[in-house]
Amino acid sequence: MAGSKRSHATNSSSDSMRTAWELKKKPAEQRLLNLTKQKKNGDSVSTDKAIVCSFGLQNPTMDRAHSMQANLSPDFPSFVKPMQMSHVITKQRLTLPKLFCDAHLPKEDGIIVLLDENDQLHDTKYMMEVRDRYALTFGWKSFSTANKLLEGDVLVFQLVEPWKFKVYIVRDTILTKVDDPNQDHFHRKLIEAGM
């Protein structure tokens, strides 16, 4: 008798997990289908859509980055990339959206120039990796360090020339008129120091 209760509890638990998975899976499949349709139609494709945090809340930094992207000239393709720990601390390399690279970048390794908001140029190594993934490797670390990138910041990459991106940085912190700029600077320094 105890065994049948346990089996029933396990089945209902796995049923609820399966239902939760199905609810998450359908929107993801629809986004992928929409991206595939955009690619077939020749439209510019942005593969890094807004990050949805736990409980379905939108990430405000990502929302601001998408607003910035929407205001850029449509003559130059662009994509949005949220910074993760591996991009700014551990691996110090940046993977690029495959659909964007396939549609807009050369199919060979080379040097891609990143132009930051201070009009400083940074050479980075663009390379195709295993399983047709594209990444910026050598030079990415110096760009990340020079621009004090942190996990949670979001970058908007706008391709202005075949081997050159203008990069806009949307910081994870927002200052309002009543915020103390020194407090925000201090907060970012604590994060940079790992505290």
Q: Is the pLDDT of residue 172 over 50?
A: yes
Q: What is the pLDDT of residues 7-56, one digit of tens each?
A: 455 455 555 555 555 555 555 555 555 554 544 444 444 444 333 333 34
Among candidate residues 154, 153, 155, the one with its CA nearest the CA of residue 191: 153
Global confidence as pTM: 0.61
Whether residues 39 and 79 share a domain: the answer is no
- Domain-embedded: residue 52: no
Residue 175: inside a domain: yes
98 shares its domain with 125: yes
Same domain? 38 vs 68: no
Report residue 19 as tokens.
């239902």
Non-local (6+) Cβ contacts of 151 within 8 A are 83, 84, 85, 87, 88, 89, 172
Q: Does a structural domain hold residue 50? A: no
Q: What per-residue confidence (pLDDT) applies to 129?
A: 78
Q: Could you identify the residue written with the tokens 């201090």?
A: 186
**Whether residues 34 and 72 fall in one domain:** no
Q: What single DSSP character describes residue 52? A: B
The count of other CB atoms within 10 Å of the CB of residue 172 is 18
- CATH number of domain containing 144: 2.40.330.10
Is the model's pLDDT at 191 over the cut of 70?
A: no
The answer on 97 and 33 residing in a single domain is no
Domain-located, residue 48: no
Residue 86 in this model has a pLDDT that exceeds 60? yes
| d(C-alpha 107, C-alpha 132), whole Å | 10
Regarding whether 146 and 97 lie in a shared domain, the answer is yes
Cα–Cα distance for residue pair 188/149, rounded to 1 Å: 10
pLDDT, one tens digit per residue, over 125-155 is 999 877 778 999 999 999 999 999 999 999 9
Do 79 and 62 form a contact (C-beta atoms < 8 A)?
Answer: no
Which domain range does residue 105 map to? 60-192
- Is the pLDDT at 189 greater than 70? The verdict is no
**Average pLDDT value for the chain:** 74
- Based on the fold, state whether residues 110 and 23 are members of the same structural domain: no
Higher pLDDT, 67 or 50: 67
- Is there a contact between 47 and 100 (Cβ–Cβ < 8 Å)? yes
Residues 172 and 78 in one domain: yes
Dihedral of alpha carbons 174, 175, 176, 180, sign: positive
Radius of gyration of the chain (CA): 21
Cβ partners under 8 Å of residue 78, min gap 6: 44, 46, 69, 72, 156, 157, 158, 159
Residue 29 or 167, more confident? 167
Residues of the chain above pLDDT 70, percent: 58
Closest C-alpha among 16, 77, 67 to residue 46:
77
111 in any annotated domain: yes
Whether 14 is covered by a domain: the verdict is: yes
Calculate the CA 109 to chain-centre distance: 22
Task: Work out how many domains the chain is built from and give that number.
Answer: 2
Are the CB atoms for 166 and 115 separated by under 8 Å?
yes
